[in-house]
């Protein structure tokens, strides 16, 4: 069961969410889409994915994030989205709508697929195979799994520990 905590200030509303998802033997992938916030991933030896989130909402804009955590026969998904009409209204100023920052605890049995536009993706000492995508955010990883890293104009910092460098591993930055 998720637990939440809410704090109000004059400037922003901060909400915290904590939820654990049990990893079943048939789960293969953890897919996270968080376009306007950071994603921090740490390893766990427990058989669950732990999701901690901190949401900031600016009252004058009031673009509340929708946090959807779900699973099916193959994937566990964490999707952070906003009302498209509010995003369109603030096009080009998305950083001012608020943000959701995630801390994810993950067992080594899942492949990771993480996506952000502006946020930081930070992975520490993972054995998981990873696909990391960012538009302009920074990607930092320390991994011994297969890596696929793509950014349009963000920075990439990587430490590959005894990497499984297969023909399918790559690190690519268009302009960063």
Residue range 146-174, pLDDT digits in tens: 889 999 988 999 887 776 566 678 888 88
Report the helix count and the strand count for the chain, using DSSP H and E: 1, 15
- 90 has pLDDT over 70: no
Residue of 61 and 160 predicted with greater confidence: 160
Give dist(CA 161, CA 90) in Å, integer.
Answer: 41
- 87 has pLDDT over 80: no
Helices (H), 22-142: 84-89
The pLDDT assigned to 149 comes to: 92
* Over residues 24-40, mean pLDDT: 93
- 4 has pLDDT over 70: no
Answer whether 31's CB lies under 8 Å from 76's CB.
Answer: yes
Give dist(CA 18, CA 4) in Å, integer.
Answer: 7
Q: Are strands 39-43 and 121-126 parallel, antiparallel or unpaired?
A: parallel
Sequence-ordered strand ranges (E) for 58-151:
66-71, 75-81, 98-106, 111-116, 121-126, 130-134, 139-143, 147-151
- 16 has pLDDT over 60: yes
* Over residues 31-39, mean pLDDT: 91
Give dist(CA 129, CA 11) in Å, integer.
Answer: 40
Query: What is the rounded average pLDDT for all residues in the chain?
Result: 83
- 82 has pLDDT over 60: yes
- 109 has pLDDT over 90: yes
Answer whether 54's CB lies under 8 Å from 38's CB.
Answer: no
Name the nearest CA neighbour of 80 among 93, 95, 68.
Answer: 68
Residue of 6 and 44 predicted with greater confidence: 44
């Amino acid at each position: 069961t998720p637990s939440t905590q809410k704090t109000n200030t004059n400037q922003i509303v901060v909400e915290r969410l904590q939820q654990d998802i049990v990893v079943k033997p048939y789960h293969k992938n953890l897919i996270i889409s968080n376009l306007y916030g950071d994603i921090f991933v740490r390893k766990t030896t427990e058989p669950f994915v732990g999701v901690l989130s901190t949401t900031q909402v600016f009252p004058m804009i009031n673009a509340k994030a929708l946090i959807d955590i779900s699973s099916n026969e193959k994937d566990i998904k964490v999707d952070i989205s906003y009302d498209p009409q509010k995003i369109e209204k603030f096009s080009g100023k998305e950083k001012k709508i608020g943000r959701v920052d995630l801390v994810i605890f993950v067992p080594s049995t899942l492949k990771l697929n993480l996506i952000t536009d502006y946020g930081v993706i930070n992975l520490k000492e993972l054995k998981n195979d990873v696909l990391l995508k960012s538009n302009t955010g920074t990607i930092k990883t320390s991994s011994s799994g297969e890596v696929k890293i793509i950014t349009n104009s963000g920075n990439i910092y990587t430490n590959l520990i005894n990497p499984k460098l297969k023909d399918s591993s790559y690190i690519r930055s268009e302009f960063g």
